[in-house]
């Protein structure tokens, strides 16, 4: 399969440069101090806002500061602490299963490789990318959430809706040293400017580079469909 065209590569380069200059402080929005805390927070963030997760995790981490502690927890106690994040029973099963696997297979330490992370309960490629990139500084892939999916399509960086296909397209366009950071840039831009229901195209620093941006007398294009995935 042919790779991106030279024109697409150049547009992607200019988009990245603009995002980097516009959002120099963009970072992971999930509060955490350790790889374990980030892994737990990312599992909780499925179909839940980062703001809500950050309200829940302080009490959770106070009671269960390590994977060993969480592995020994009673399900009903964990459910009570995370109920407001939604799907709390499924998330509790994932958290307890993950904690038990980390404890039994990895001595209580979160593994630092994609293969080991992806076989943990409740962990998919997206969650593994979050942990590797933000907890360990390992650029193994690109986090593709609903913001990254929507903006990548609007900006003409991919035509796909499947997260792993979008990730492959972005990895072909983004230098590896920016694989972790590019998702933070796109997510921040999606929250502050390219808002799904009310895009602020007139304020957008990417308007001249965006195929979806309205031209004089035209209406903005509808946002791309939002993807969803239970296993993050």
Residues noted as catalytic = 126, 145
Cα–Cα distance, 62 to 64 (Å, whole number): 6
In 3D space, the residue among 221, 134, 147 whose CA is nearest the CA of residue 188 turns out to be 147
CA 66: distance to chain centroid?
A: 23
In 3D space, the residue among 151, 100, 144, 153 whose CA is nearest the CA of residue 125 turns out to be 144
With beta carbons less than 8 A apart as the criterion, state whether 91 and 230 touch: no
Phi-psi region of 7 (alpha: psi -120 to 50; beta: other; left: phi over 0): alpha
Query: What is the DSSP-derived secondary structure letter of residue 87?
Result: -
In 3D space, the residue among 145, 129, 122 whose CA is nearest the CA of residue 44 turns out to be 122
In 3D space, the residue among 133, 129, 169 whose CA is nearest the CA of residue 149 turns out to be 169
């Amino acid at each position: 399969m042919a790779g991106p065209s030279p024109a697409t590569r150049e547009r992607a380069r200019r988009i990245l440069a603009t995002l980097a200059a516009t959002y120099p402080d963009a970072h992971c929005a999930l509060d955490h101090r350790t790889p374990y805390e980030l892994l737990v927070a990312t599992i909780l963030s499925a179909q839940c806002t980062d703001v809500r997760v950050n309200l829940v995790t302080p009490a959770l981490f106070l009671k269960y500061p390590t994977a060993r502690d969480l592995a020994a927890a009673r399900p009903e106690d964990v459910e009570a602490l995370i109920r407001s994040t939604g799907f709390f029973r499924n998330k509790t099963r994932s958290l307890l299963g993950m904690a038990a696997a980390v404890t039994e297979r990895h001595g209580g330490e979160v593994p630092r490789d994609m293969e080991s992370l992806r076989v943990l309960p409740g962990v998919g490629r997206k969650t593994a990318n979050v942990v590797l990139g933000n907890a360990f500084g390992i650029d193994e892939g690109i986090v593709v959430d609903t913001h990254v999916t929507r903006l990548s399509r609007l900006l003409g960086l991919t035509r796909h809706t499947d997260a792993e296909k979008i990730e492959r397209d972005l990895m072909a366009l983004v230098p590896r040293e920016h694989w972790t950071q590019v998702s933070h840039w796109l997510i921040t831009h999606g929250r502050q400017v390219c808002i799904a229901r009310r895009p602020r195209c007139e304020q957008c620093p990417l308007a001249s580079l965006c195929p979806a941006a309205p031209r004089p007398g035209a209406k903005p294009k509808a946002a791309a469909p939002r993807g969803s995935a239970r296993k993050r």
